[in-house]
Structure formats: C-alpha cells, structure tokens
Amino acid sequence: MAAINDVADLSNEGDIAVLTLNSPPVNALSAGVREGIHTGIEKAIADDSVKAIVLICDGRTFIAGADITEFGKAPKGPSLFDAQKMIEDAPKPVVAAIHGTALGGGLEVALTCHYRVAVPSARCGLPEVNLGLLPGAGGTQRLPRIVGPEKAVQMVTSGVPMPAKQCAEVGLVDELAGEDSLRADAIAFASKIVAEGRPLKKVRDSNEKVEAARGKPEIFDNIRKAIARKTRGFLAPEYNIQCIEAAVNLPFDEGIKVEQKLFMELMTGPQSAAQRHVFFAERQVWKIPGIAKDIEQIPVKKVGIIGAGTMGGGISMNFVNAGIPVVIVERDQAPLDKGLGVIRKNYERTASKGRITAADVETRMGLLSGDTDMKALADCDLIIEAVFENMDVKQDIFKQLDEICKPGAILATNTSALNIDEIASVTKRPEAVIGLHFFSPANVMRLLEVVRADKTSDAVIATSMAIAKKIGKIAALVGVCPGFVGNRILAQRQREANKLIMEGAMPWDVDRVLFDFGLPMGPFAMSDLAGLDLGWRKETSNPDGVLRDRLVELERRGQKTGKGFYDYDENRTATPSKEVEDIIIEFSEKTQHTRRDVSDDEILERCVYPMINEGFKILEEGKAIRASDIDIVWINGYGWPVYRGGPMFYGQQIGLDKVLAKMQEFEKAHGPEFKPSALLERMVAEGKSYAEMGF
Ligand code: 3HC
Ligand code: NAI
C-alpha cells in the first residue's frame, strides 16, 4: 500500500487500483479526505497498469458526509467539487464500495463514481435537511437522475437513508456485495465491468427520469402539502424541493447553479447554524465530565414501576418496547387492571395503524406483569416510582423499597417537583436514589431528565444514562432544584404570559406570537389541552381572585368541556372567547392594571428572555452541565423549534448583550423577577461564549 496522506492509501490488486480512506470516526470529507480522494484518483489514472479504480473506506462506515466541524471555517485543500470532478471525468471506471452509511457528501461522492456496490446492511441518503441544509455537491441534481424526482424529493426532504437492497432495486446501487466481502467483491465487480467493456456511466448525463417529470408540478405540490405541518418554519425542506424542481426543469449545469445558490444561503443563515448546534448538542449531552466512559454499570434485566397511572403506564411501555420485562405495582387491583388495560389499548391502537403486528401486542403484554404487593419488586434491578406527587406518600414508598429491593438496585423517582434529596434521605442507600423525570406521554416524548441527587453514585448515573439510550430517549443530566431544568424555565414563561394578559394582551395574542416563533402551541392553548382543572379543588377555589378558578367554575375547563380560554367547535377548532375577554378585562381592573397596547415584540421578549436568563442561573448553580444540555431539554421536552437551536443558543444568536439590556430594562419597569443572572452579566462583560466559560 502506498500512503497518499494520513487518511488515504492506494494499492493495486492486479489491474484494479483500490483507494482506501481511513479517517475515523466516520470518514467525513475533511480537507485530508478530499485531498486523499483527489490525489489518489489522479495517481491511479496516471498509472497505466490500472484499468479500474475502487473507492472504499476502512472503519465503521463509508464517507458519512462533509466534515461538519469545518463548516464556517476558511476552506483548505481541494474542494469537494474538485475531488468529484477528478472521479467523474476519470477515463477509467471508478466504483464506490459502500458499507455503513453513505450520507450527504459521501453519497454525492458515490454519485460521481461510475458504479456503486454495497453490502446489504449499508444505507444511502442525503440527510442535509436535518442540518438545515441541502446536498450542496450535486446531490439534488444527480439523485433524481437515478431514482426519479418523486423518490428524490422524498429522500431529501425527509433525510431518511435508503437500505442498500432498496437502493439496488432503484438503481442507486449497481450490485450488492457479500456482507463480509465488500473489498473482494468490489474488485471482482470492477474487473467484470472492465472485461465487459461497460461504459463510463456518468449520472449527470442521464436525463430520462428528470425529463419525464417535466410539466408535472403536482409531484412537488403533493410533497409540499404532505410535509407542511411537520416542517412549519423550517427553510431547508422548501429549498430542497426547489433544487429537485431545478433538476427537472433545467439542464444539469444550470441546476447545479441553483443548488449552489440555495446551499450557500442556508449554510450562512441562522437556521442551519442552529441545527448544526443541535447535531453536536445531541451527542455532547451523553458525556458526563468526571464519570469514566468505561465505568462498570448495573445490569438492568428487570424493571419495576410503582403506579399504573398516566406516567407509570407510559414509562412501562418504554421498557417493554425495548424487550425488558416490567412488573407494575399498584395499591389495589382496580387501578392496576385499569392501567394494564390502557397499555393494551395503546398497543392495539398502534397495531391497528399497522405500526406493530398483533403478535407484537401479545409479546409486549407478555413482558408486562402486575402486582399489588411491593414484594414483587424484590428481584428488579431498576425501580421507578410514579405515584401521586406527595412527599409523604413517596417517602413511605422509598422506605419500603429500602427494605424490599436487592442490594445494588437503582431506586428512581419520576417526581416532577419534589426534592429528591429528601426522598433519598429516608433510605439507608441514598447513593442508589436518582430522579428519572419522564415527560407526558412518557411512551412518546423523547426527553428524559436524569436528576442527580446529592449522594447519587456515578454507577447509578451512568447506568441511568445508558438505559435511557437503550429505550430510545435523549437524556440530560440535571441537578435537584425546583422544576429541575425544563419546568423551572417553563415557569418563567408561564409567569410572564399570565402577567401580559393582565397588562393588555389577550391569551390568543400571546399564543399567536409563541406559535409563530415556532413552538407547537402557546401557554393558553396548552392549558386548554391539559385541562384548566388540573390540580384545581372546589374547596380552595377563588373565582373572584384567580382567573383560572373563575374559568373552571364557569365550566370553562378546556377542550374537554368545549371551552376554556378559547371556545371550541366540534372539530376542536379554537376561536377567541368574548366571555374570557370580558373576564380578563374585569380582572385587570381589579388588580389595578391600566390596560395598554402590548406589542408582539414585547410578548416575545417578556416570555423568552427570562427563560434564557433562568438558563444562566441554572448553569451558575451547576444544575445543568452545559448550555447545550438546556437546549436539548427544551427542544425534546417542550417543542422548542430546532431551527432556533434551543433557548441558550437562541440567546447567543440574538446577542447576550441584547438579552441582558432587555432584562435590565424589564427589571426597572416590572420588578425583581427580571434580575439578570450574574453569569449572564459576567459573560457579557467579558465578551465570552459558553464554551470559553466552560459551559
Ligand atoms: N462531520 C463531522 N463529524 C461527524 C460527522 C460529520 N459529518 N458525522 C458524525 N460526526 C462525529 C460525531 O459528532 C461524533 O463525534 P463524537 O464521538 O466526538 O461525539 C462521531 O462522529 C460519531 O458520530 P455518532 O455518535 O453520530 O455515531 P453513530 O455511529 O451513531 O452514527 C452516523 C454515525 C450515522 C454517520 C451519524 O454520525 C450521522 O448521521 N452523521 C451525520 C451525517 C450527515 O448529516 N451527513 C451530511 C453532512 S452535510 C454534507 O454532507 C454537505 C454536503 O452536501 C456538501
Ligand atoms: P396518576 O394519578 O395518573 O397516577 C398515580 C398512580 O399511582 C395511581 O394509579 C395510583 O393508584 C398509584 N398509587 C398511588 N399511591 C400508590 C402506592 N402507594 N402504591 C402503588 N401505587 C400507588 O399520576 P401521574 O400523572 O401518573 O403522576 C405520577 C408521578 O409522575 C407524579 O409524581 C407526577 O408529578 C409525575 N409526573 C407527572 C407528569 C404528568 O404529566 N402527568 C409528568 C412528569 C412527572
């Protein structure tokens, strides 16, 4: 083998040259990899003994795309276009040999090769849309020329990669190799095409499929309609569609110009910056400073859940779905039967939609058992308590767990607001106690706040993070404080939303501004959905002093009673309520507010800036490890728009100095709840970023 550079080697196998890339972890197209391809192919072309070239990768995958860490930095070495041109214009066939994932720029390189072979487990895709981008190295022009515009537009807007077998069916892969013999099979394939004198197939010249789609705008109208709801606010999906339209309607070189223009626009825009931040944040969040990666974990073979209510049921489903047996313990048979019945219904509903089979329903229910005796938890490795939110009840349960559970078992609570140190204090093993704060519906929501208490051991934390990954959650490690990270930040927004409607805004104004910002719904629409009577009690109700109590007493309990902050028709379509408007005005007068015009900007800033400020306080107190973990919590637990990167990233994007100045202005006008965090003040004074401050 002759080294081309640190990450590329060229060797000859008879008359076939094999260019091998090896740039861990994912062979991303860094400057070195681009140079390796460019020079390696150039050398193989110059070698008269070589008849064909195989491009293959070592390690876990074929090229997984452009090197995202290089984005925004000054370009070095040959461009990706130079490397691709060297391949596509080669006078000898170049064969891409694909294993793992050929993604983004990786697939775009493979698309400039004349042929592609892949192992059956490989997948090929253009996931740039997930980074707020579009394939910027010819992918939007070449892919539809092979798979057709309809399939291509679906691939680039979803970002979902296609399994190799399907790639072979649609011609994206020319031949499937043996799972363990890719190199040898690719060389044999290259020899075969040389022997057969097959042509140098250039995807760019194959116009049949794109021409056939000309004059059929419905292809694009349909996809726009299909993804509208899911992609609201995102720029990249629409830009991807426009590129495929260009592939259909323009010659290749013109199409490439459209792709380049739109790619650069996205690449330099705020959305892609935010989405790239989220890509790395999602990977950072698992890394816990101070805990060794290889720390011995507690094997979790059986899980116990206490409480078969809203949360207990959903939490159980997560483990059962991952094939882990679960025993649910309830106070009585009736709530146990009810809880198990709800779980079964949930699975049956999923099966009726064709997402699992009827046999899956039985397999999953078979992994689930119920009991009314806490002793059933004796052989569990992880026990999660999800009973009523009451300290006495929870402490009583943890005392029992301390007696019953085997040594080494993890004792977790799903409390959303109680102090976990206090819960742990009633046991003789506080190191085993941790918070596992699931979000409702627990079988659907991706977020898990793993709450480290004072004495929680490293092994319990590491195991909790690992088990979260196993059940498909994204977990953020947070500390004990009221509301932990997510709800603590939510409380800021909630407080301001309630104040704003007393000062002059209406609930629908606040909701509209936050919806337009990109959140799934505003706080008042959310209350209507959850039910205004959540936690409401007749004995303590104060209809003359508390707006919510008044609405509940008027039977305005939310969507379920057809009215809450809004009025609802039979399709649950909301319209602003005159009755509510009058009550709000009455309450404003009672609380001595002179109603005024509240601008949309003020609504946004009053709701969102205190959230950012609270994030700083959380960091300052060490209740979250890093700013990007807070972003992960808000994106996955509360629907913060990914294209705004999470509240902490958003704060930095608009300028922390601006956030601070507004907080100071609000503090003067509205009071101490706007007091800026000391960390925010320090960062602005020192002009530093989160990373520079160690967050
Ligand atoms: N650039 C730089 N680093 C990358 C990377 C990339 N394209 N893809 C992955 N990495 C890094 C990750 O950050 C992670 O680093 P860490 O270990 O320091 O945290 C490491 O590689 C391993 O990644 P994962 O933890 O995600 O590993 P998995 O095995 O779970 O997944 C993968 C592998 C499927 C390749 C996944 O990493 C992935 O989806 N990567 C992104 C693929 C992508 O989006 N490609 C398109 C890039 S944009 C582009 O190509 C533009 C072009 O059109 C011009
Ligand atoms: P729920 O009222 O729906 O369910 C609680 C269940 O616990 C009931 O079925 C009850 O019979 C059972 N239970 C009570 N005492 C018990 C005991 N001693 N032994 C066994 N079972 C007992 O309540 P929900 O909503 O499921 O909440 C449970 C916990 O999860 C609470 O701590 C809550 O704060 C927390 N949580 C709730 C969220 C939500 O959105 N509902 C979100 C995140 C956390």
pLDDT the model gives residue 207: 97
- Regarding the beta carbon of 440 and ligand 2, being less than 6 Å apart is answered yes
Q: Contact, 20 vs 56, CB < 8 A?
A: yes
Q: Which of 35, 108, 385, 602 is catalytic?
A: 108
pTM of the model: 0.96
Element (H, E) at 242: helix 236-249
pLDDT the model gives residue 570: 93
pLDDT the model gives residue 693: 86
Atom from ligand 2 closest to the CA of residue 313: 26
pLDDT the model gives residue 275: 98
pLDDT the model gives residue 75: 87
Q: How far apart are CA 594 and CA 585, in angstroms?
A: 10
- For residue 1, pLDDT beyond 90: no
Atom from ligand 1 closest to the CA of residue 69: 2
pLDDT the model gives residue 41: 98
Q: Is 163 helix (H, G, I), strand (E, B) or coil?
A: strand
- For residue 200, pLDDT beyond 90: yes
Q: How far apart are CA 75 and CA 264, in angstroms?
A: 14
- Token pair of 585, please? 């005005």
- For residue 663, pLDDT beyond 90: yes
Atom from ligand 1 closest to the CA of residue 284: 19
- For residue 694, pLDDT beyond 90: no
pLDDT the model gives residue 429: 98
Sign of the Cα pseudo-torsion (228, 230, 235, 241, in order): negative
pLDDT the model gives residue 249: 98
How far, in Å, from the CA of 467 to the mean position of ligand 2?
Answer: 21
Within a 10 A sphere around the Cβ of 45, how many other Cβ atoms?
18
Distances (CA, A) of 297 to 292, 293, 381, 457, 460: 11, 10, 11, 11, 7
Atom from ligand 1 closest to the CA of residue 80: 54
Ligand that comes closest to the CA of residue 62: 1
- For residue 535, pLDDT beyond 90: no
- Regarding the beta carbon of 109 and ligand 1, being less than 6 Å apart is answered no
Within a 10 A sphere around the Cβ of 464, how many other Cβ atoms?
25
Q: Contact, 259 vs 140, CB < 8 A?
A: yes
Mean pLDDT of 575-584: 97
How far, in Å, from the CA of 663 to the mean position of ligand 1?
Answer: 37
Catalytic residue at 128?
yes
Among 27, 68, 101, which is best to mutate for testing ligand 1, by the most ligand atoms less than 8 A from CB?
68
- For residue 441, pLDDT beyond 80: yes
- pLDDT tens, residue by residue, 161-187: 999 999 999 999 999 999 999 999 999
pLDDT the model gives residue 400: 98
- For residue 388, pLDDT beyond 90: yes
- pLDDT tens, residue by residue, 391-410: 999 999 999 999 999 999 99
- Regarding the beta carbon of 136 and ligand 1, being less than 6 Å apart is answered yes
Among 328, 374, 388, which is best to mutate for testing ligand 2, by the most ligand atoms less than 8 A from CB?
388
Mean pLDDT of 248-256: 98
Q: How far apart are CA 144 and CA 245, in angstroms?
A: 10
Dihedral pair phi/psi, residue 476, rounded to 5°: -120, 130
Dihedral pair phi/psi, residue 172, rounded to 5°: -75, -30
Mean pLDDT of 253-260: 98
Element (H, E) at 576: strand 574-576
- Regarding the beta carbon of 681 and ligand 2, being less than 6 Å apart is answered no
Ligand that comes closest to the CA of residue 373: 2
SS3 helix, strand, coil % of the chain, rounded to 5? 50, 15, 35
Q: Contact, 582 vs 556, CB < 8 A?
A: no
Torsion of CA 453, 454, 458, 459, to 10 degrees: -60
Q: Contact, 475 vs 468, CB < 8 A?
A: yes
- Can you name the residues that pair with 28 across neighbouring β-strands? none
Atom from ligand 2 closest to the CA of residue 389: 32
- Regarding the beta carbon of 25 and ligand 1, being less than 6 Å apart is answered yes
How far, in Å, from the CA of 278 to the mean position of ligand 1?
Answer: 12
Terminus-to-terminus CA distance in the chain, angstroms? 44
Mean per-residue pLDDT over the chain, rounded: 97
- Token pair of 147, please? 């798979």
- The residue contributing the CA closest to ligand 2 atom 31 is 389
pLDDT the model gives residue 433: 98
Residue 133 CA from chain centroid, whole number: 16
- Domains defined along the chain, listed by start: 2-267 (3.90.226.10), 303-483 (3.40.50.720), 505-511+518-590 (1.10.1040.50), 600-622+626-693 (1.10.1040.10)
- Regarding the beta carbon of 105 and ligand 1, being less than 6 Å apart is answered yes
How far, in Å, from the CA of 339 to the mean position of ligand 2?
Answer: 11
